[in-house]
Amino acid sequence: MPEQPSAAEGFGARLAALIAERGRLCVGIDPHPALLQAWDLPDTARGARDFSLRILEASTGLVPAVKPQVALFERFGSAGFLVLEELLGAARDAGVLSIADAKRGDIGSTMAAYALAWLDDESTLAADAVTLSPYLGFESLRPALDLAAAQGRGVFVLGLTSNPEGAAVQHAGGSTAGDSVAARIVAAASAENRAEMARSGTALGSTGLVIGATVGTAVRDLGLDLTAVRGPILAPGLGAQGATGADLRALFGTAFDQVLATSSRGIGMAGPDLTELRKAILAATADLRGA
């Protein structure tokens, strides 16, 4: 099995070092049917493999992390999971952090099983980090939080998403700053990172948040203190969804240095030519640096 991360150096510390070296772009790897068609690839597990490994090849050495969307592999059943396993292993070998965008969330032994699948050294699906859904209660994520900490991996907890339906849950209770569901999730993530920093002295914690790049004024309206999180902020929405580096700077303000901005279709649409993919990655990285 390829070398696994060391618990002595947490995910946040490794991510911070790579951001300083390569910039803050995370390339989403989404073998969507429309993208496979645009690349003249079959909408099969084999097509997803060719697409994904080409995106990873283009990303290697240029970005700190890639984010495969698990559902777009899962749709091919066991063959799709084999492709995802290969991709995660290849990212590890290439020195690119992987974030499995699985959005898992449950209680008790089921949550523990999800944690073992995506974060345990012995799992073939183990990524450097995984996205989690906290809407059964933040503490329901404890098995994943503890396993990630023990094995030097990270998590990104859904905090504030840009889909219109999300506001019905995430903004609830928000008439006073700090009282919304989103604010409580932010506060809980902050507490996790403070505890990690007290143990290890790291400058960036390993409990991240997912905050959509196109949430408008919601961060301000809900009184979210993202700087106090002291952990990474995964911000999907760069590129094809309309957000720019300047938009991210305006949205996140003093928390911008914690942002890992994700572009998926915006990069994928530049393929399949490897040179064009790299140009798109470099352009997005430059846009973020310029912000």
pLDDT in tens, 52-104: 999 999 999 999 999 999 999 999 999 999 999 999 999 999 999 999 999 99
The C-alpha atoms of residue 71 and residue 139 are separated, in whole angstroms, by 25
φ/ψ of 135, rounded to 5, equals -85, 10
Question: What is the enclosing helix (H) or strand (E) of 98?
Answer: strand 97-104
Structure tokens at 16: 């911070």
**CB–CB of 90/53 below 8 Å?**
yes
Average pLDDT over the chain, rounded to an integer: 95
pTM: 0.96
Catalytic residue positions? 103
- Residue 226 and residue 171: Cα distance in Å, rounded? 16
The per-residue pLDDT for 1 is 43
Q: Give the pLDDT score at 119.
A: 98
Contact 59, 25 (CB under 8 A): no
- Cβ atoms of 70 and 84 within 8 Å: the answer is yes
pLDDT at position 7: 59
**Residue 3: pLDDT over 90:** no
pLDDT at position 190, please? 97
List phi, psi (to 5°) of 73: -100, -40
Dump strand ranges (E) for 70-229: 97-104, 129-132, 154-160, 207-211
Domains in the chain, ordered, with CATH?
11-22+100-286 (3.20.20.70)
Inform me whether the pLDDT recorded for 174 exceeds 80.
Answer: no
E strands, 105-176, in order: 129-132, 154-160
Q: Supply the DSSP string of 9-36, one letter for each residue.
A: S-HHHHHHHHHHHH-SEEEEE---HHHH
